[in-house]
Amino acid sequence: MPTPVTGEPDPNGGDCVGCGRCCHHPSHTVHFLESDEHRMGKRLLELYTEEYTQPPGFRFMKNVPTAAGDETHCAGLDVSVPGQYPCAIYEHRPDDCRIVEPGSPACLEARRLGHLGSSVEFHRPR
């Protein structure tokens, strides 16, 4: 679980690495479209993503348990430095990750809850 972050989020994303809350979510949250797969490339897809079988053909970021084991976070989150939550694949992250803007309702909810909540809308054209 990320450490507490107080105040309003920097609209330019300046405090996102110190927050990381929207990268804490259950499995099968961050999904891929074909354009995301192209951007990610074969090697990173194998390392960080998994195919979902029901229904088949859907691909998601893998999730791993937090150190405390009380929830899960995205496998792309680099948790090697305590209190810092950079994305290890930032340039290649899928569009789902680009939807949550600092200061948006989904961001504010994630900061309140400590993890991504239900207010994020992943509606994208297919």
Could you list the residues that contact ligand SF4 (CB under 6 A)? 9, 15-16, 19-23, 30, 61, 74, 76-77, 87, 89, 93, 97, 100, 102, 107, 110-111
CB of 61 to ligand SF4, least distance (A): 5
Total H helices, total E strands in the chain: 4, 4
Among 40, 123, 33, 35, residue whose Cα is nearest residue 87: 40
Q: Sign of dihedral through CA atoms 31, 89, 48, 26?
A: negative
CB of 43 to ligand SF4, least distance (A): 15
Q: Among residues 59 and 102, whose Cβ is nearest to ligand SF4?
A: 102
Distance between CA atoms of residues 89 and 76, nearest Å: 6
CB of 22 to ligand SF4, least distance (A): 3
Is omega for the bond preceding 55 within 30 degrees of 0, making it cis?
yes
Distance between CA atoms of residues 5 and 16, nearest Å: 10
**In a 3-state reduction of DSSP, which class is residue 67?**
coil
CB of 123 to ligand SF4, least distance (A): 17
